[in-house]
Amino acid sequence: MTRKEKYQYVIHYFQEHTPDAETELFYDNPYQLLVAVILSAQCTDKRVNMTTPALFAQYPNPYDLAQASFEDVFYYIKSISYPNNKAKHLIGMANMLINDFNGEVPMTVDELIKLPGVGRKTANVVTSVIDEQPNMAVDTHVFRVSARLGLTTTGAKTPLAVEKELVKNIPTELIHKAHHWLILHGRYTCLARTPKCYDCGLTEVCNYYRKNIKPAKAK
């Protein structure tokens, strides 16, 4: 099977089984999504979703958040990983939104990565979710699933390298959705330590299954 055929197979599978895949983060507007994605770094979406309702109630917009003290923001996000850094980032991000972007969340990756706490992955998430731009955010799930399936080459050893290969091979109009396909597959099926290969519909084209599971099964 060629790489092109593998991509076609995987895309068809997800289109059939999870056609409406979307982010599991709770948000009502671009500002809330940006805050949630910043908080989600090295933290579960479930934990973030438990934290953001009170945070958003207290700071419903960048103007309110920009006026907040570090101690107050820390109080609301203390159950999140790295709350010290993230509290500083959120306040700094809000101030920059006001000072540089008229209080609006910019919709280009180059502008977003200027904000405190926002790297390329976060910028790709925001632009692809809000604006359906063909940007592929690569987190640990996307990195792992892409490698195991064989969607990426062995030379793709960094998130940026994986991003470039996926964007090159996935139809432009599907990239924003493919991001969620791969994340959700990694979160619930292709787990890091104990992948649920026997519950997976992609074993027929999966390099990991062919090399690690199928031989053991045959013994």
> How crowded is residue 155: how many other Cβ atoms within 10 Å of its Cβ?
8
pLDDT value at residue 140: 94
% of the chain exceeding 90 in pLDDT: 93
User: Is there a single domain that holds both residue 94 and residue 166?
Assistant: no
207 burial class (0-12, 13-18, 19+ CB within 10 angstroms)? middle
Asked whether residue 175 carries a pLDDT value surpassing 70, the answer given is: yes
Paired tokens of 66 = 């920009």
- What are the tens digits of pLDDT across the range 103-146? 999 999 999 999 999 999 999 999 999 999 999 999 999 999 99
Number of domain units in the chain: 2
User: Is there a single domain that holds both residue 108 and residue 154?
Assistant: no
Domain limit, last residue, from 131, 165, 198: 131
pLDDT value at residue 6: 96
Which residue bears the tokens 């199928």?
214
User: Is there a single domain that holds both residue 13 and residue 38?
Assistant: no
The secondary element (H helix, E strand) that includes residue 148 is helix 140-149
pLDDT value at residue 217: 65
User: Is there a single domain that holds both residue 92 and residue 152?
Assistant: no
Closest to 53 measured CA to CA, from 35, 70, 67, 71: 35
Amino acid at 36: A
User: Is there a single domain that holds both residue 40 and residue 60?
Assistant: yes
Q: Give catalytic residue positions.
A: 121, 139
Residue 206 assigned as binding residue: yes
Closest to 151 measured CA to CA, from 6, 46, 1: 6
| 73 pLDDT tier (thresholds 50, 70, 90) | very high
User: Is there a single domain that holds both residue 83 and residue 171?
Assistant: no
Residue 43 assigned as binding residue: no
How much is the CA Rg of the chain, to the nearest whole Å?
19
- What are the tens digits of pLDDT across the range 21-64? 999 999 999 999 999 999 999 999 999 999 999 999 999 999 99
Residue 100 sits in which domain range? 30-131
pLDDT value at residue 218: 56
CB-facing half-sphere around the CA of 149: CA atoms within 13 A = 31
User: Is there a single domain that holds both residue 116 and residue 185?
Assistant: no
Residue 197 assigned as binding residue: yes
